[in-house]
Structure 1
Amino acid sequence: MFLLSCRLLLKTTIKSQRRCYSQQPELASKRYNLTRGNYASIRGSDINFFQSILGQTRVFTEECDVDGHNLDWYKAVKGSGKLLLKPKTAEEVSAILTYCNDTKLAVTPQGGNTGVSGGAIPVFDEIILSTSQMNKIISFDEISGVLVCEAGCILDTLNEYLMEKNFIMPLDLGSKGSCNIGGNVSTNAGGLRVIRYGSLHGTVLGVEAVLANGTIMDCLSLMKKDNTGYDLKHLLIGSEGTLGVVTKVAIQCPVKPKSVQLALFGISNFSGVLETFKQAKQNLGEILSACEYMDQTAIESVVRNLNIRNPIGDFPFYMIIETSGSNEQHDEEKLNTFLEKIMADGVVQDGTVASDYTQIRSIWELRERIIEAQLLDGFVYLSDFSVPVNSFDRFVHDVQNQVGDSGTVTGFGHLGDSNIHLHVISKEYTPELLSKIEPFVYEWTSKKRGSVSAEHGLGFKKKDYLSYSKSESVIDLMRNVKSIFDPNHILNPYKVLPDKK
């Protein structure tokens, strides 16, 4: 019997997340000490022009309509946007950007608004350009597995559409119930399946994007191989809306696995986590599709705040290993044999294996709802990094020593691609605690030759720390690319690139 879905359908909306705090955050411009650029201010004539393109029903100026788009999904930063536009076609986006470029009006592209680095939030009065109504599935080729869709398609909607055709999206995120594929591409989102299917740089075959001057850049290739000159789509992937507004995506989708198994392990020390990961790669090989680790603090928060049951005992560390393949009996036997061996060797102290949909779903909740649970404990200083996997636990301990009693540090993430999510939780936000965290975490990461952002992007929160991962000469080249694509710098200002000193 084929499993229709093997991950938690986490349809967490921005609205529900806002209940976690009673206080509105201070403005991003103030918290991050940003200065407004030399951009025009919105006038009545501008609104009239946009209404002539979109009509009155897709141009929003009322605070009640715009305010939700000024707030990030876990309510840590707030923008000051006064105008929200919702185009439905690339041609409408082109007309909007042509006008904004000519009049020097700044624009912030926004998809599902599930980012955590501030990339989709207007800092000052930038026009919010939402792609949420560009949500059509254009085509799907069941021979090649190539899906073409508009940027506003919700990730989980695409996955449900594909599963009916025995395919899946190569991307899986906890926010899949609300994030948009255009935003995923623009931030180069990672998630749980990178260990199996790689990053979006490998699975995205083509994009259509609108540049700052209104040019529609058609790089919507459907071919896995296209060796014709510079591959410009890669500049759009991960550019966070600073080079262009992604309007369509062509993505390579894998066949839906016929069998999925999941194992949850309890481990007494971090060396056991590393050994389990090593043996999983060696012994599970081609069927290994996810490998996650969580520390005890993260799991305790989920159990305590969301009343979710932990099916095994209490341990300092936990791992979730997922396998997926074409032969259920073979895959289940392989995973059980692996579990028996590592428990017999004393690497893992406890564990359970699930192949039933309900069991799998309940185990994935322990991992996918960590942020939701932690938000109920207070303010979360949330960040992600790429560092060597053998340094994950040391990173957590060193940051805990750095912040002392001011906060609780927790770590979890994707072992398969060296991505740790490191969170500091306190009762409320304070600049004093932030100054203890930053730049310490970036200096620590730089010493390990890691990346200050693994999958959440830079936004305006991390842009000033880009030099900890990239040399000044590389950053200058990035600035040159930005100037070519967006000479007037109207697209998503104050994001990604640090100001030139």
Structure 2
Amino acid sequence: MKKMSATGLLKLRPNVVKSFFRTYKASGIPELTQVRHNVKRGNYATLEGKDIAFFESIVGKNHLVQDDLQGYNVDFMRSVRGSSQLVLRPSSTQEVSAILKYCNERKLAVCPQGGNTGLVGGSVPVCDEIVLSLARLDKILHIDEITGIAACEAGCILENLDLKARELGLVVPLDLGAKSSCHIGGNVSTNAGGLRVLRYGNLHGSVLGVEAVLANGDVLDLMSDFKKDNTGYHLKHLFIGSEGTLGVVTKVSMLCAPQSQAQHVAFLGLSSFDDVLKTFRDSRQFLGEILSSCELIDANSLDASVNHFKLNSPIEGYPFYMLIETSGSNAEHDMEKFNRFLENGMEKGQIIDGTITGEVGKMQEIWKLRELVPVALIEDGFCFKYDISLPLREFYHIVEVMQERVGNLATRVCGYGHLGDSNLHLNICCQEFTQEIYKCIEPFVYEYTSQVKGSISAEHGIGFLKKNYLKYSKSPAAISKMRELKQLLDPNSILNPYKVLN
């Protein structure tokens, strides 16, 4: 075990995935979603000249896009592709309201879009929906250094908000590999999880209020500066995780956490998943309140990250790796706790090898190994990605089951993810998408997840790709009530059609 000095704080990791989330790679353009999945277009109106004229009067000619729409029509994963002919880029809540009111009256379908970093096809059109880009609603409205409350518009990039918060000694309670591109509105609309749910919890607990525009153009001002506001129904929760199907989030207020004064990261090698579970249990016991992240990476995942991006792993040759991070206020005290935890794990034979550091550069290099796994796996060809919650004792077994099930159809089957909150990212890579491997994987992966009482979506939502499998995580009665809510708030079903329920 290598012990390194705890000098320096981890402020922001470099934008190691920025280019992947901000640019679309021309190779591997997917087949149209409507064709691949045999989707029947809904009974919506089609664009006419008068519609274009109206929208131009709202957003201006420069923010009405009709050419070169590939980046808006294709998702980050290159797994779904729509055929939208129009992108609108409003700059205010009022413009969003006017657009939706008109579209509702004309029955024109709309696809709200943030940074387009989603993994379930929720942020791009399925057919020819109008794309409503929130990118220009990017203002940070205020950050209060006393209360820790921040408010911003929906198009604000997560990293930009975090940078401003850190200037005041605060951090946004959400950290994603896509932070340099994803939007706060999209994070809230998908109830994004990320790397530190273990410490900060889900957005349902951090978001204090939202402003949302309904399908008919009505603006619901549900913004709040209070953690405690026990006045009637908490309508804000309808829009957290609803993926733009009930309304378009235009503003958000959330509670930021104090910035940690000391951080440490350990990268550990383990010989079995049983040892992984024991080490996680001990991390909670020994590290307690300073434990901020606990990630699992299997050998196949690490191999993709290291080889595709020419990275150096501090240790190698183990079937399982754990990345454990602590965030506290006293570097010396935290390092003592970390060392006791590691010594205990090595004495028990659970931890075979590892490295620990509090140096900014070294921590960044270790985090790269984990953060680059998702995009590294795309380099294998086509990648089926599954974001599922599983009971911890069943956490990794599904990877082994799928390895046996797909056999030679796949080039790589691996698992990594947020062990601390039971969220596994199962990845099955192949040279190209084929119906043979698709049918081998689905719906089996969701049936298996349901059988062990897991969730088919831990943090990425349902979107388009999982809408047929919602039944594996929600009862018929629950889905029926969801449909009633959709009908109440969006009776013409113009908001993000074909997603979640449609």
Q: TM-score, normalised by structure 1?
A: 0.97
Distance, in Å, in 1 between the alignment partners of 2:88 and 2:82 is: 16
Residue 301 of structure 2: aligned partner: 298
Residue in 1 that maps onto 2:55? 50
Alpha-carbon distance in 1 for matches of 2:295, 2:165: 25
Q: Match for residue 327 of structure 2?
A: 324
Q: Residue 81 of structure 2 corresponds to which residue in structure 1?
A: 78
**Match status 1:465 vs 2:436:** no
Whether 1:419 and 2:414 are equivalent positions in the alignment is no
In the alignment, structure 1 residue 96 sits paired with structure 2 residue 128: no
Aligned to 1:475: 479
Partner of 2:187: 184
1:7–1:23 CA distance, 2 compared to 1 (3 A):
closer
Contact 1:205 1:251 in 2 (8 A): yes
1:276 counterpart (274, 279, 288): 279
1:455 corresponds in structure 2 to: 459
In structure 2, what is the Cα distance between the partners aligned to 1:479 and 1:74? 28
AA at the equivalent of 2:28: Q
In the alignment, residue 158 of structure 2 is paired with which amino acid? L
2:486–2:493 CA contact under 8 A, matched in 1: yes
Structure 1 residue identity aligned to 2:432: E
Give the Å deviation of 1:18: 3.5
Structure 2 vs 1, CA of residues 9 and 340 (structure 1 numbering), >3 Å: closer, same or farther?
farther
Alpha carbons 1:17, 1:372 under 8 Å: kept: no
- Amino acid aligned to 1:110: Q
**1: distance between equivalents of 2:233 and 2:465?**
31
Contact 1:212 1:491 in 2 (8 A): yes
Residues 288 and 324 in structure 1, CA contact (< 8 A), matched pair in contact too: yes
Alignment counterpart, residue 268 of structure 2, candidates 261, 265, 269: 265
- Match for 1:13 among 16, 19, 23? 19
Correspondent of 1:124 among 122, 127, 142: 127
* SS class of match (2:168): coil
Of residues 427, 435, 438, the one that matches 1:434 is 438
Cα distance in 2, alignment partners of residues 134 and 443 from structure 1: 40
Contact 2:192-2:203 at 8 Å conserved across structures: yes
Q: Is 2:219 the partner of 1:216?
A: yes
Correspondent of 2:35 among 21, 30, 34? 30
Q: Which runs of 4+ in 1 moved over 3 A?
A: 6-11, 13-19
Secondary structure, in 3 states, of the residue corresponding to 2:24?
helix
User: Does the Cα contact within 8 Å between 1:4 and 1:163 map onto a contact in 2?
Assistant: no
- 1:146-170 deviation line (CA, Å, top 9, x unaligned): 0000000111111111111110110
Partner of 1:365: 368
Specify the code of the residue in structure 1 equivalent to 2:218: T
Give, as a single letter, the amino acid of the residue that structure 2 aligns with 1:18: Y
Aligned residues of 2:267 and 2:324 also touching (Cα < 8 A)? yes
Task: Give the Cα–Cα distance (whole angstroms) in 1 for the partners of residues 215 and 304 of structure 2.
Answer: 44
Give the Å deviation of 1:4.
5.2
Query: For residues 179 and 10 of structure 1, what CA distance do their matches in structure 2 show?
Result: 14
| 8 Å Cα contact 2:21-2:178 kept in structure 1 | no
Q: What SS class does the counterpart of residue 218 from structure 1 fall into?
A: strand
> How far is 1:400 from its partner?
1.2
Give the match's secondary structure for 2:275. helix
Instruction: Give the aligned partner of residue 447 of structure 2.
Output: 443
Decide whether aligned partners of structure 1 residues 249 and 467 sit closer, same or farther in structure 2, where only a CA change above 3 A counts.
Answer: same
1:141-220 maps to which residues of 2 (within 5 A)?
141-220=144-223
Summarize deviations over 1:210-251 as a string: whole Å, max 9, x none: 000000000001100011010011110000000000000001
- Looking at structure 2, the residues matched to 27 and 173 of structure 1 have their Cα atoms a distance apart, in angstroms, of 28
Unaligned runs of 5+ in 2: 1-6
**Which amino acid in the other structure matches residue 166 of structure 2?**
M
How far residue 54 of structure 1 moved from its aligned partner, in angstroms, is: 1.0
Assess if the C-alpha contact under 8 Å between 1:10 and 1:175 holds in 2: no
RMSD value, Cα = 1.2
Structure 1 CA distance for aligned equivalents of residues 380 and 246 of structure 2: 37
Structure 1 position 17, deviation (Å):
5.7
Residue 354 of structure 1 corresponds to which residue in structure 2? 357
CA distance in 2, matches of 1:458, 1:49: 33
Partner of 1:311: 314
Q: Does 1:496 align with 2:500?
A: yes
Report if aligned partners of 2:81, 2:126 keep a CA contact under 8 Å in 1.
yes
Q: CA deviation at 1:313?
A: 2.5
Shift of 1:2: 5.9
For 2:171, what is the secondary structure of its paired residue? coil
Return the TM-score normalized by structure 2: 0.97
